[in-house]
Amino acid sequence: MRTCWFVGLTTLDVVHRAAGRPGRDEKVTASRQDVAAGGPAANAAVTAAALGARAVLVTALGGSPVAQAARADLEACGVEVHDVVAGEDFPLAVSAVLVDDASGERSVVSADAALADAPAPTALGALPAPDVVLFDGHHPAIARAAVGHLPDLPGRPQVLLDAGRWRPLFAELLPVADVAAVSARFTVPGYDDVTTGAHTRGARGVVVTHGGGPVEWSGPDGVGTVDVPAVEARDTLGAGDAFHGALAVALADGAALPAACAAGIEVAAMRVAHVGPREWLAAVRAEARR
């Protein structure tokens, strides 16, 4: 079984679906509510587990009731959680998410990893050796420890970056990245073109997503684009994370970058076509079995 590590952020997402967004000092009534684990690394791990990979999430949860709820959801989805603050009083972020019922677009308010500094893990050697390691740019001490552990592994895994927004840690992660998957809004300080900037900073492969537009890829084998199918977007929450999780599994399977992008696009399309943070996983599992 291919094994993927997902190094970074976990939150607890409280998701409300409503017709429109409230204005200033207004309230709206939700038509649906869900509570699930969130965060880029956590969501990508959930996707990878649904695709049949061994998904190991290296993150900071703690022992609070909020953390217990997030852990229970992750484990129910088949994710193996390595918590660097297990049992401790760690302030796990709770994200407030609003999904527009008409467009499927989401708005998020979250503290991410800003409430406390997570310490470095001490037992990475006990984890199963990964084929791919994904970093989302959160929890710097955890990420640095994982990067430092790479030379100790029996075979050097591929390193994948999930880079939605520039974070200072990416200056350290880009030089070790085999693939940097970035959104079109991502900017590398000092560069007008994100692909040029990411390559110059050290990334060997670069993938740029444009929402519903074609995905651009650039690497040692050339450059190109992969089309995105037209799908009715019913819920965009976590679509990018789903893409990254599927991209990680495809790379672990040995896919070339264009094929890995196509696999990520297929899974992201499934995500946006379903309402709710978890219902779509049944479609992914069925596709993986086929």
Is 79 strand, coil or helix? coil
* Residue position matching structure tokens 């990475």: 124
Please report where in the chains the tokens 């709820």 appear, as a residue: 69
Confidence (pLDDT) at 141: 98
Exposed, middle or buried by CB within 10 Å (0-12, 13-18, 19+), for 187?
Answer: middle
- Distance from C-alpha of 54 to C-alpha of 56, rounded to nearest angstrom: 6
Q: pLDDT digit of tens for each residue in the chain (290 aa)? A: 899 999 999 999 999 999 888 888 889 899 999 999 999 999 999 999 999 999 999 999 999 999 999 999 999 999 999 999 999 999 999 999 999 988 889 899 999 889 899 999 988 999 999 999 999 999 999 999 999 999 999 889 999 999 989 999 999 999 999 999 999 899 999 999 999 999 999 999 999 999 889 999 999 989 999 999 999 999 999 999 999 999 999 999 999 999 999 999 999 999 999 999 999 999 999 988 87
38 DSSP β-pair partners:
11
Position 247 scores a pLDDT of 98
* Spatial distance between the Cα atoms of 53 and 45, rounded to a whole number of angstroms: 9
pTM (whole model) above 0.85 = yes
Q: Cβ(145)–Cβ(115) under 8 Å? A: no
d(CA 184, CA 203): 16
Residue 196 bridge partners (DSSP): none
Nearest C-alpha neighbor of 157 from the set 140, 176, 136, 144: 176
What is Dmax (Cα atoms) for the chain?
Answer: 57
Residue 144, SS3?
helix
pLDDT (0 to 100) of residue 26: 87
φ and ψ at residue 243, rounded to 5 degrees: -60, -45
